[in-house]
Every structure is written in structure tokens, then in C-alpha cells.
């Protein structure tokens, strides 16, 4: 797991070793998330998370697969629920089903297992997060008459966690080799308040022939207001025009590239003229792009030298 951590640029890694060829848990996190270990066992890893959305709690869970140990899984859930009052999300392979709709196939699932797991989640105050995609996350014997599919993997949360992440979604992915389907939680928190974007003058605007007219017309049409209000109104007008210009630039670039490609190999006079005209227009688009990136990269020191001032 340390090799995987380094390969994928994770900062933190906590591993609960497997026993023989069974079990084994791992939790990894990036540098933009602060994680503090609350506790762990062979069946769970419990973390206190601090990120841009605030403080919350994440538990990775693995339930006992043996039926005679299911009560141990349910009691572990109850103990975990009482540890902290933080907004809580728990995700993993619970090896349990909440209701008959979590299963299809011929193998019978006893009612006492449904009722026991459902009772444990109610005692903990947990509710299921809907799963987008194929509803069953584990399968066996799909090429036989005794096939069975079940939703063993799920994510559940306290109500305060759902308030903290109102747009969170849980998706099932594809796994070509495993009998389990990976599930992906997308934590979309509350949207931060919108900030007015700072106006930034673009040098490439000076290459546009109609740019001086836009500024002049807007400035002269605004009378009877302060100079600050006038400047704000002009910058807003330019920003709207610039957004439209950016969309047109990308469309023009794609259109001209396709036109030149379609004219390649044609040597008649009309095609040669059209290709020359298209190349000239494309060169102007590239010049505006280059001017933009030069300004973004602040490349003046390449030309003028760096005085360490």
C-alpha cells in the first residue's frame, strides 16, 4: 500500500493488515485534507476530517461475512455511532442487506438478517445514500442458474452530514475482475458565496479592431455618475464582450483548422486562395492566444532581463 500511496501522490496512508489471505483495510488521503485517527479494528477505520467544508467524520467499514458473526457487525455499528456527535458518513462492504430489494437470485436470505441490520442502522440514526448506476454491487454465479446479485456495499450518513453535503452522490463503477463493484462518493458541499471577479485588462484586446469603439461608446454614454461608477460600468461591459470573444475564438480556431485540413491536396486557384485566407485568419487567432499566455506567464523578464527588484 505504501507503493500505491507514493505512485498516486497521497500524503497519508493507514493500513490494517490482513490475516493470512483474508481481511485487510486501507485508507488514503491527499494533502488538502486534514485527517486524525479516531480508531480502527479489523472491521473499520474511523477518521476525523477537516477540509474546506468543515469538520466531519468518515468511517470505512467491513462487516463480518459469516452469518453467525453478523450481530458482532451490528453491535460494532452501534458502538461507533456513540463515539462522536460529528456529522458522520460510513461507507464500505457491510455484508448485509436492508430489504429484499437489495437482492435478486435464487438463494434465500433470512428475514432475521434483514431485520437485524435495519434495526442497527435505525439505532445509529443512519440513513442510506441512494446509489446511482447498477444497484447490485456483488455477484456470484452469473453464468449459472443459481446466480445471485446483492447490494452489499453502501454509504450511510447522519442527517447533519447530509446537511453539510446536500449535493453528495454515491455512484457504482465498473470492475472487470472483482466480484465486487467499487462505489464512489462525490462530496459536494455547500456552494461558497459568489465573489465578484476582479477586472483584469487583457493585452490581446488591443489586437481587436472594434475594441476602442466599445470602450469609447460605453464611456461617452455614461453621464451624470461618479468616475468610479463609470469605470465599473465600462469594465463590466468589456468583461461581457470579452466572454463572448473567448467563445468565438475557440469556435473560429476549430472552424479554420477543419477548413484548412479539408483544402489540403487541392491545387486549383479557388482552393489555394481559400486556404491562404484561412491560414491568415488562423495566424491572427494564434497571435491573440500567444499574447494572452505571454501576459499570464509574465514573460517580460525573458525579454528585458530579471533585475531581482
Number of folded domains in the chain?
Answer: 2
What average pLDDT values come out for the chain (309 residues) when binned by 10 residues?
87 89 87 88 94 90 92 95 93 94 85 94 94 89 77 94 91 81 83 64 86 86 81 86 83 86 82 86 86 73 55
Question: In sequence order, what DSSP letters do the residues of 232-279 get, joined into one string?
Answer: HHHHHHHHHHHHHHHHHHHHHHHHHHHHHHHHTT--SHHHHHHHHHHH
pLDDT of residue 88: 95
Residues 170 and 217 in one domain: no
pLDDT of residue 16: 93
pLDDT at site 260: 84
Q: Using one digit for the tens of pLDDT, what is the confidence trace for 86-136?
A: 999 999 999 999 999 999 887 788 899 999 999 999 999 999 999 998 889
Q: What is the pLDDT of residue 47?
A: 94
Cα atoms in the 13 Å half-sphere on the side-chain side of 25: 19
What's this model's pTM, rounded to 2 decimal places?
A: 0.61
Domain of residue 80, residue span: 2-186
Closest CA to 41 of 27, 52, 55, 25: 25
pLDDT number for residue 142 = 67
Last residue of a domain, one of 186, 216, 250: 186
Looking at the fold, whether 223 and 180 belong to one and the same domain comes out as: no
| pLDDT at site 229 | 84
Give the pLDDT score at 307: 54
Does some domain include residue 191?
A: no
Please tell me whether residues 164 and 285 are part of one structural domain. no
| Distance between CA atoms of residues 83 and 267, nearest Å | 79
Within-domain flag for 280: yes
- 195: in domain: no
> Do residues 278 and 139 both lie within one domain?
no
Question: In this structure, is residue 213 part of a structural domain?
Answer: yes
Q: Are residues 111 and 21 in the same domain?
A: yes
Q: Specify whether 233 is located in the same domain as 166.
A: no
Residues 6+ apart with CB under 8 A from 11: 29, 30, 31
Please count the other Cβ atoms lying within 10 Å of the Cβ belonging to residue 228.
8
CATH number of the structural domain spanning residue 107: 3.60.10.10
Same structural domain for residues 267 and 122? Answer: no
Considering the domain architecture, whether residues 25 and 140 belong to the same structural domain is answered as yes
Residue 51 falls inside a structural domain: yes
Grid look-up 487567432 returns 285
What was the pLDDT predicted at 191? 56
CB atoms within 10 A of CB 23: 12
Amino acid at each position: 500500500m505504501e507503493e500505491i500511496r507514493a505512485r498516486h501522490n497521497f500524503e497519508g496512508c493507514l493500513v490494517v493488515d490482513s490475516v493470512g489471505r483474508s481481511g485487510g483495510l486501507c485508507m488514503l488521503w491527499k494533502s488538502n485534507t486534514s485527517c486524525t485517527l479516531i480508531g480502527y479494528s479489523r472491521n473499520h477505520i474511523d477518521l476525523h476530517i477537516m477540509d474546506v467544508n468543515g469538520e466531519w467524520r468518515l468511517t470505512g467499514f467491513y462487516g463480518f461475512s459469516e452469518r453467525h458473526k453478523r450481530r458482532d457487525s451490528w453491535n460494532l455499528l452501534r458502538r461507533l455511532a456513540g463515539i462522536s456527535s460529528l456529522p458522520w458518513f460510513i461507507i464500505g462492504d457491510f455484508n448485509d442487506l436492508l430489504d429484499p430489494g437489495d437482492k435478486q437470485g435464487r438463494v434465500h436470505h433470512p428475514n432475521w438478517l434483514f431485520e437485524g441490520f435495519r434495526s442497527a442502522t435505525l439505532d445509529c440514526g443512519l440513513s442510506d445514500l441512494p446509489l446511482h448506476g447498477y444497484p447490485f454491487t456483488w455477484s456470484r454465479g452469473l453464468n449459472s442458474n443459481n446466480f445471485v446479485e446483492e447490494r452489499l456495499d453502501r454509504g450511510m450518513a447522519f442527517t447533519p452530514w447530509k446537511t453539510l453535503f446536500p449535493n453528495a452522490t454515491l455512484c457504482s463503477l465498473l470492475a472487470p475482475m472483482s466480484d465486487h463493484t467499487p462505489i464512489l462518493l462525490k462530496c459536494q458541499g455547500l456552494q461558497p458565496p459568489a465573489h465578484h471577479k476582479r477586472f483584469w485588462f487583457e493585452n490581446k484586446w488591443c489586437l481587436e479592431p472594434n475594441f476602442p469603439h466599445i470602450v469609447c461608446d460605453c464611456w461617452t454614454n455614461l453621464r451624470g455618475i461618479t468616475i468610479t461608477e463609470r469605470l465599473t460600468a465600462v469594465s463590466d461591459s468589456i468583461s461581457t464582450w470579452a466572454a463572448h470573444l473567448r467563445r468565438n475564438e475557440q469556435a473560429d480556431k476549430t472552424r479554420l483548422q477543419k477548413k484548412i485540413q479539408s483544402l489540403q491536396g487541392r491545387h486549383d486557384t479557388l482552393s489555394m486562395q481559400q486556404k491562404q485566407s484561412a491560414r491568415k485568419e488562423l495566424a491572427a487567432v494564434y497571435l491573440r492566444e500567444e499574447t494572452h499566455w505571454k501576459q499570464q506567464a509574465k514573460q517580460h523578464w525573458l525579454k528585458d532581463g530579471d533585475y531581482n527588484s
